[in-house]
Amino acid sequence: MNWMNRRQSGWPSPAGGSWPRLAGFLVVVMSAAALSAQTLKYTKRPDAVHGETVYRSGCIACHGDRGAGAAPTSTEFVRPDTFPDFTRCDQTTPEPDINWKATIVHGGPGFGLSTIMPAFGELLSDEDINDVIAYLRTMCTNPHWPRGELNLPRAIVTEKAFPEDEFVLSTAANASGAPGFTTDYIHEQSFGAKTQLEVDLPQHDEDQNHQWQNGIGDITFGLKRVLWSSLRTGSIVAVQGGVLPPTGDSKRGFGAGTTTFEPFVSADQLFRTNTWVQFQMGAELPVDPKKSPQSLFYYTALGQTLAGDHRLGRQWSPMVEFLANRDLLDGAKTDWDVLPEMQVTLSKRQHIRVDLGYRAPFINTAGRQGQVDFYILWDWADGKFWEGW
Ligand code: HEC
């Protein structure tokens, strides 16, 4: 992902006995996930035909005959910027059903939206609401847009497959040794149904021999493309091609000193229990491998999203990442890190989230240190930063 994730060369043999520890840890995490699983299953399959009847009786006055909004002349209210047009796939597909359900049950303010949108939790049954959502889903007729349910919580290192519109400020601070931190300013923007552009600017601040040094590192420009996604199976696969021109000061250790190409593939899987796993696998290919070695990386994030209020409330996503990096040098060993973390939604609209974790070297640990990792992200397509709290 960025240059700081790389390792230096010359590692001793792997720490013995780490694998049983790793396996034990996995078992604990997975059983915790299974115990607290909240099923996505419906007691009855949602019925879009009945949903249309609900829509015609309760929603049409404001949302209009076709879901694009009633004529402004027939409605009293001033339309908020976020007023939905349910026929526009670009607006509707990123929203998972659960967000719409929170809005319909609790009204606009329940999801940080306008009070004009009434609460229907007392008027409609749970099934009616599932049915009307199924009907709303028939209004976007292009099946190529990946659905927001597959937009899994962002892990700190492992990159997801879903194309995003977000801004992330992510920092990693050394937990021991000389103080130092890296802050990444990451902008992601989607184009059409399946493409995303990413720019990642790292800023380094380090105590080097009792002198503070700072500067930018190598900037990543990445283009992601979704190859395949299916809400039915809960899967999404994407590829990304990235290029990192040597914008950093490599003499101070803030960059590779040569242009690096970074191709990778991401594959994410959501299970019915709301447990999920994200894989990312790729390579860092500096043009001049004498300046910086070529390497492979293989990352996994395993997690679970929990929320109260029948899953409509604040979302907590405990997860753990397993991060492997290996230089493409003779006799190089693979570095493994484990990164337990917790992501939580802050705003009611869930467009502001934070994540805090600790990255611990696990195998091949010599010369590497732990890191405290944190990010705050803003899904700017869902509204301004200060709106929707
Ligand atoms: C009194 C007018 C009114 C009625 C009746 C109404 N809505 Fe809304 N609805 C709105 C407004 C206005 C918004 C936009 C709120 C905002 O963006 O701040 C909205 C937003 C929504 C959203 C959120 C969309 C998004 O992009 O997050 C959903 C879902 C929704 N309405 C569904 C329904 C359903 C289903 C019904 C009928 C059961 C219904 N509405 C009835 C006015 C209404």
Residues 174 and 204 in one domain: yes
Mean pLDDT across the chain: 88
Contact 139, 66 (CB under 8 A): yes
What residues have CB less than 8 Å from 294, skipping those under 6 apart?
A: 283, 284, 285, 286, 327, 328
pLDDT reported for residue 37: 37
CA of 169 to the centre of ligand 1 (A): 32
Q: With a 6 A CB cut-off, is 116 part of the ligand 1 pocket? A: yes
Give which of 29, 40, 123 is closest to 311, Cα–Cα: 40
Whether residue 165 is found in the same domain as residue 204: yes
Per-residue pLDDT tens for 88-126?
Answer: 999 999 999 999 999 999 999 989 999 999 999 999 999
| pLDDT-derived band at 28, boundaries 50, 70, 90 | low
Q: Would you say residue 93 lies in a domain?
A: yes
Q: What is the spatial distance between Cα 156 and Cα 364, in angstroms, rounded to a whole number?
A: 21
Q: How far is the CA of 144 from the centre of ligand 1 (A)?
A: 25
pLDDT tens digits along 190-211 = 999 999 999 999 999 999 888 8
User: Do 335 and 236 belong together in one domain?
Assistant: yes
- Please tell me whether residues 70 and 203 are part of one structural domain: no
Domain's final residue, options 137, 160, 182: 137
- CATH number of the structural domain spanning residue 85: 1.10.760.10
pLDDT at 25: 61
Give the chain's length. 389
Do 120 and 156 fall within a single domain?
no
Whether residue 265 sits in one domain with residue 352:
yes
Check residue 81 and give its pLDDT: 86
Q: Domain containing 109: what range? A: 48-137
Comparing 318 with 6, the larger pLDDT belongs to 318
Assign 282 a pLDDT band (cuts: 50, 70, 90): very high
In a domain, 4, yes or no: no
* Res 252: pLDDT: 86
- Whether residue 26 is contained in a domain is answered as no
Output the pLDDT for position 31.
55
Q: Are 316 and 199 in contact (CB under 8 A)?
A: no
Is 15 a domain residue? no
| The pLDDT of residue 4 | 43
The protein residue with its alpha carbon nearest to ligand 1, atom 11, reads: 117
Q: CA-CA distance, 224 to 76, in Å (whole number)?
A: 43
Q: Which residue has the higher pLDDT, 342 or 23?
A: 342
Residue with tokens 């696990």: 362
Note whether 202 and 67 are same-domain residues.
Answer: no
- 104 CA to middle of ligand 1, Å? 7
Q: Of 73, 105, 137, which residue is a domain's last?
A: 137
Cβ of 85 below 6 Å from ligand 1: no
User: In this structure, are 253 and 337 located in the same domain?
Assistant: yes
Please check whether residues 230 and 248 belong to one and the same domain. Answer: yes
Choose among 3, 377, 5: nearest CA to 185: 377
Instruction: Identify the pLDDT of residue 43.
Output: 73
Alpha-carbon separation of residue 178 from 181, 255, 371 (angstroms): 10, 19, 12
Please state the domain count of the chain. 2
CB-ligand 1 contact for 148 (6 Å cutoff) = no
Share of the chain above pLDDT 70, in %: 89
Same domain, 186 and 213: yes
Q: Which of 3-7, 77-81, 298-302 is the least confident region? A: 3-7
d(CA 55, ligand 1 centre) in Å: 11
Greater confidence (45 vs 35) lies with 45
* 363 within a domain of the structure (yes/no): yes
* Same domain, residue pair 150 and 132: no
Measured from the CB, is residue 104 less than 6 Å from ligand 1? yes
pLDDT band at 35 (very low <50, low <70, confident <90, very high): very low
Q: What is the 3-state secondary structure (H, E, C) of the chain?
A: CCHHHCCCCCCCCCCCCHHHHHHHHHHHHHHHHHHCCCCCCCCCCCCHHHHHHHHHHHCHHHHCCCCCCCCHHHCCCCCCCCCCCCCCHHHHCCCCHHHHHHHHHHCHHHHCCCCCCCCCCCCCCHHHHHHHHHHHHCCCCCCCCCCHHHCCCCCCCCCCCCCCCEEEEEEEEECCCCCEEEEEEEEEEEECCCEEEEEEEEEEEEEECCEEEEEECCCEEEEEEEEEEECCCCEEEEEEEEEECCCCCHHHCCCCCCCEEEEEEEEEEECCCCEEEEEEEEEEEECCCCCCCCEEEEEEEEEECEEHHHHCCCEEEEEEEEEEEEECCCCCCEEEEEEEEEEEECCCCCCEEEEEEEEEEEECCCCCCCEEEEEEEECHHHCCCCCCC
Q: Has residue 11 got a pLDDT over 50? A: no
Counting residues of the chain whose pLDDT is more than 90, the rounded percentage is: 70
Residue 3 has pLDDT above 50, yes or no: no
pLDDT at position 79: 87
Q: Could you tell me if residue 307 is inside a domain?
A: yes
Cβ(58) to ligand 1 under 6 A? Answer: yes
Whether the pLDDT of residue 245 is over 70: the answer is yes
pLDDT tier, 250 (very low <50, low <70, confident <90, very high otherwise): confident
- CATH number, position 165: 2.40.160.40
- pLDDT tens readout for residues 52-73: 999 999 999 999 999 998 888 8
Asked if the model's pLDDT at residue 388 lies above 60, the reply is: yes
pTM given for the model: 0.86
Question: What's the confidence (pLDDT) of residue 30?
Answer: 56
Mean pLDDT of 263-267: 97
pLDDT band at 42 (very low <50, low <70, confident <90, very high): low
Site to substitute for ligand 1 among 105, 117, 120, most atoms within 8 A of C-beta: 117
pLDDT (0 to 100) of residue 22: 62
Residue 207 to residues 38, 86, 247, 321, 323: CA-CA distances in angstroms?
A: 46, 53, 21, 28, 26
Tens digit of pLDDT for each residue in 122-179?
999 999 999 999 999 999 999 899 999 999 999 999 999 999 999 999 999 998 888 8
Residue 21: what residue type?
R
pLDDT at 311 over 80: yes
Residue 11 lies in a domain: no
Residue 388: inside a domain: no
Domain end: 101, 116, 137, which one? 137
Q: Does residue 150 share a domain with residue 133?
A: no
What gap in Å lies between CA 305 and CA 172, rounded to an integer?
24
